[in-house]
Amino acid sequence: VSTSLYFIIMLSRFSKCSLLSRLALSCRAASNLSLKETLEKVIPEKQEEVKQFRREYGDKKIGEITVDQAYGGMRGLKAMVCETSVLDPELGIEFRGYPIPECQKLLPKAPGGEEPLPEGLFWLLITGQIPTEDQVSELSKDWAARADLPPHVVGMINNFPTNLHPMSQFSAAITGLQSESQFAKAYAEGINKTKYWEYALEDSLNLIAKLPTVAAMIYRNCFHDGDVCPIDPQKDWSGNFASMMGFQDPQFVELLRLYLTIHTDHEGGNVSAHTCHLVGSALSDPYLSFAAAMNGLAGPLHGLANQEVLVWLMKIREEVGDDISDDGLKEFIWNTLKSGQVVPGYGHAVLRQTDPRYACQREFALKHLPDDPIFKLVSRLYQFVPDILLAQGKAKNPWPNVDAHSGVLLHHYGLTEMSYYTVLFGVSRALGVLSWLVWSRALGLPLERPKSMSTTGLKALVGAK
């Protein structure tokens, strides 16, 4: 019933989505404007909007804080601003007001492709406007031109031991790129704070352009012969990334475009987004801020989850095989829970329905790999896990999240090295968190410094004895 309700809710949004489609042309950026020119136009408008809003409503209360929230990871606490995306508990993520199906429909695609180009979503996230095909094409070329690494970072990556986790290599290499920071240099020279966003933008564009090169070198060094093909200025960001990793299958490139699009942003409170914003609020440059975010993404409760899902799926196949009965599969799920473990890939801190990022990956699988045995297992789990979690009575959200599916698709196309999956997540997440980092500097958001309290102080505050 709940699964049906999810799709009913999604259908109820059809009129809104249709309206978004009709209004898309009016929201498209002028085709003759570059990315920076577009931002020079929209930033002053947003600055004035926020300034006036705070002037009129700055003292209004937006919620209360409970003791449980103070101890419980600040769940549900409305205490941050993030414009790039908003997560609705029932409907999932919206990028600048556009749900994933609308992004798939409206954003430019590669010639002959069906999935949106991540460059287009980056444009949407940072400007709030649907880009034209020409603007996305120019952005692809710009990133290709910026993609080379300085020699010291190349040497750094090549000297990492292969037993160092790919995410540790990724974070360290990003920190090594900080030598290229234009923001840090401009700040040291005393640049006016009204110009901070321009240098944050340049750093972000340079970093985003270089991330596939960094990630591909790590992949080839850890799992293959270390050879990485050169950047092709005629290919898009995802196409170059796939080629540098050694993948030429057009379907894999399409999957990578989808993957790098849907993992970009998930509003501002998740660990990687919050970390990037927090470190950036100290006026650390985008390289340092994003490296910190990647250390958060590497955690088992954040980006490492997609790896854990595939490990669990392989364990099921190894212990009971692909032909396990429905009752046998249900028993395996229950045994997992009774052993004190969780079912990886299910549940979410905010969502209360099936993650739309899961749904669009499932649609991709149904179209391109319907007979893959691991995909079939994922589909069967989708039938049983939510009801079992509901019966257990502990999960507020028993539905699958994005991690329940992404590893299966990557594995199907030959990217079987599970320890690398979070690096792909990190490359994608840069588009979202760096977009908001640029805006944080444009809006002059201050150093983040919440007040902490001791248990003794909390007891006194609430009158506990």
- Please tell me which residue in 302, 405, 411, 412 is annotated as part of the active site: 302
- Please tell me which residue in 348, 405, 411, 412 is annotated as part of the active site: 348
Residue showing tokens 């985008």: 286
Neighbouring C-beta atoms of residue 248, cutoff 10 Å: 10
347: number of CA atoms within 13 Å, CB side? 15
Name every residue whose Cβ is closer than 8 Å to that of residue 390 and which is 6 or more positions away in sequence.
Answer: 398
E strand segments, 72-207:
85-88, 92-95, 98-99
**Active site annotation includes 405:** no
CA 23, CA 7: separation in Å to the nearest integer? 24
Residue showing tokens 């506990």: 464
- Please tell me which residue in 403, 405, 411, 412 is annotated as part of the active site: 403
**Active site annotation includes 403:** yes
- Alpha-carbon distance values, 346 to 4, 378, 418, 419 (Å): 18, 11, 18, 20
**Active site annotation includes 266:** no
Q: Is 99 helix (H, G, I), strand (E, B) or coil?
A: strand
**Closest C-alpha to 204, from 181, 184, 188:** 181
Q: In what order do the strands lie in the sheet with 85-88?
A: 85-88, 92-95, 98-99
In 231-372, alpha helices (H): 237-245, 250-262, 271-280, 286-297, 305-320, 326-338, 356-368
Instruction: Give me the active site residues, please.
Output: 302, 348, 403
